[in-house]
Amino acid sequence: MSFLFTLDEDNLAEQLPQIFFKYEKLIEDAEVLFKLEGQKLELIMRNLPQNQTFYSKLSHDMKQVVKWLENYKSKIEAKYTRNYSQGARALPAREAATLISGESAIVEINQLIIEANLLYMKLDSIVEGFIQMGWSCGNITKLRVAELQETII
């Protein structure tokens, strides 16, 4: 189950940075997985699918966080739009949009969206790295098999 169901909209500024910190730590931990020198090819190939799947899941989770934050931002913008478009001093849509984009809640959500997008892109890059690693290891294996076939005894 995703942690999105546990988020409290009133405490996003406290909850999401903690979650982002955990994801940032997992991103840092991935660097070790790309150091292949001195490891057996069999071990690398055996661990590759589980590492790729794990980071792919994290990437998908972060993508959902971005979408969730964008939906939440739309909800807040709708509240502010309603406030700015009602009453005797109702503002035109363009002026209201300008004022809404400067509201502290909107600015805070935008910052969270930027952070979540950054983490998503980093996780997506890690997954892409695992895909490339699998391709490279597959080619190395094919070359080694070809070497064995060419050996004359």
Burial, 59: exposed, middle or buried (Cβ in 10 Å; 0-12, 13-18, 19+)? buried
Q: Side chain identity at 55, as an amino acid letter?
A: Y
What residue spans of the chain are helical by DSSP H?
Answer: 12-33, 41-84, 93-101, 104-150
pLDDT tens, position by position, 92-113: 666 666 676 777 788 888 899 9
Residue 122 scores a pLDDT above 70: yes
* pLDDT in the model for residue 131: 94
- What is the chain's Cα-based Rg? 24
Rounded Cα gap, residues 149 and 92, in angstroms: 77
pTM for the full predicted model: 0.81
pLDDT at residue 144, rounded to an integer? 82
The pLDDT value given to residue 152:
61
Q: 117-143 as b/e, with b when 16 or more CB fall inside 10 Å? A: bebbebbbebbebbeebeeebeeeeee
Residue 16 pLDDT more than 80? yes
> Tens digit of pLDDT for each residue in 108-119?
888 999 999 999
Mean pLDDT of 1-26: 81
Residue 70 has pLDDT above 90, yes or no: yes
Higher pLDDT, 82 or 73: 73
| Average pLDDT of the segment spanning 114-134 | 95
The percent of residues above 90 in pLDDT, for the chain, comes to 41
d(CA 42, CA 141): 9
Residue predicted with more confidence, 127 or 38: 127
What pLDDT is attached to residue 149?
Answer: 67
Distance CA 65, CA 67 (A): 5
Q: How far is CA 23 from CA 9, 31, 133, in A?
A: 20, 13, 22
Distances (CA, A) of 132 to 57, 71, 95, 125: 18, 34, 48, 10
